[in-house]
Amino acid sequence: MNPIRLMLADDHQMLREGLRRSMIDEGFDVVGEAQDGVEAVRLAEELVPDVILMDVSMPNCDGVEACRQVKSHGSASRVVMLTMHADKEVLTNAIRAGASGYLVKDCSTSEIAEAVRMAAGGETVLSPQLAKSMLEEVRRLDQKARTEEERTVTKREEEVLQLIADGCSTPEVAERLYISQKTVKNHLASIYQKLDARDRTQAVLQAVRMGIVQLH
């Protein structure tokens, strides 16, 4: 079985040399090295490596943009980004650019080697720090979505609110909407909870601020 053909792109020569030696020791065929993003794009097109280990921060053209250009040319090379810091925004941009992986540079040699093998096999790779960070972000967004969903006022509750804003009493709201007074009170209780209001006045003011109802 032929060794995985690997290309390195990093503007720090010492880091690049250390990475080259360690990757050769791991059994990879290091076919080329680039010291900036422009050279990385050129060499990627010329050498067509199986995997490119691409530093995020490079002069002339950063790693994310270089990755985007490599992938936009239809290259089959898999790009694994390397970075000093676990940055969710950069990670998101890298994935959008077509990266197959994203590693923090303090990963061990064996972790980087395993990531290269996984990328070459068509898998997506995230370092543990980033995986945890992204999981926390997904959970936060999921919780935010649930909270917003819980605060969403139904169409019927909007009608109740508008009538309350128009000065209608509970019996009048019930009569206008052809529902019982008990149902009106249940709607009001739900509205108070969703709008974090203590009474009708607070609920109406909050609804006006949110654009749910209008004062005539």
Q: Has residue 130 got a pLDDT over 80?
A: no
Q: What pLDDT is recorded for position 197? A: 86
d(CA 78, CA 71): 9
d(CA 53, CA 101): 9
Whether residues 17 and 112 share a domain: the answer is yes
Q: What pLDDT is recorded for position 106? A: 82
The pLDDT-based confidence of 105 (bands split at 50, 70, 90) is confident
Whether residues 106 and 156 share a domain: the answer is no
| Mean pLDDT, rounded, of the chain | 87
In the chain, % of residues over pLDDT 90: 53
Helix ranges (DSSP H) in 63-127: 63-72, 88-97, 109-120
d(CA 172, CA 136): 48
Q: Has residue 27 got a pLDDT over 60?
A: yes
- 7 touches 30 (CB < 8 A): yes
- 125 touches 100 (CB < 8 A): yes
The pLDDT-based confidence of 180 (bands split at 50, 70, 90) is very high
Residue 23 is inside which H or E element, if any?
A: helix 13-25
d(CA 101, CA 192): 47
Whether residues 180 and 105 share a domain: the answer is no
Give per-residue pLDDT as tens, 42-69. Answer: 999 999 999 999 999 998 899 999 999 9
Does residue 62 sit within a domain?
yes
Whether residues 113 and 163 share a domain: the answer is no
- 83 touches 113 (CB < 8 A): no
Q: What pLDDT is recorded for position 102? A: 87
The domain that contains 89 carries what CATH number? 3.40.50.2300
Whether residues 77 and 183 share a domain: the answer is no
Does residue 144 sit within a domain?
no
Domain tally, the chain: 2
d(CA 39, CA 45): 10
Q: Has residue 139 got a pLDDT over 80?
A: no
What the block records as the tokens of 38 is 């422009």
The pLDDT-based confidence of 213 (bands split at 50, 70, 90) is confident
Q: Has residue 133 got a pLDDT over 70?
A: no
Q: What pLDDT is recorded for position 61? A: 92
- 115 touches 23 (CB < 8 A): no
What the block records as the tokens of 170 is 């509970």
Choice between 87 and 15, residue whose per-residue pLDDT is larger:
15
Q: What pLDDT is recorded for position 120? A: 94
Q: What domain range includes position 178?
A: 150-209
Dihedrals φ, ψ of 201, to 5°? Answer: -60, -50
Q: What pLDDT is recorded for position 208? A: 83
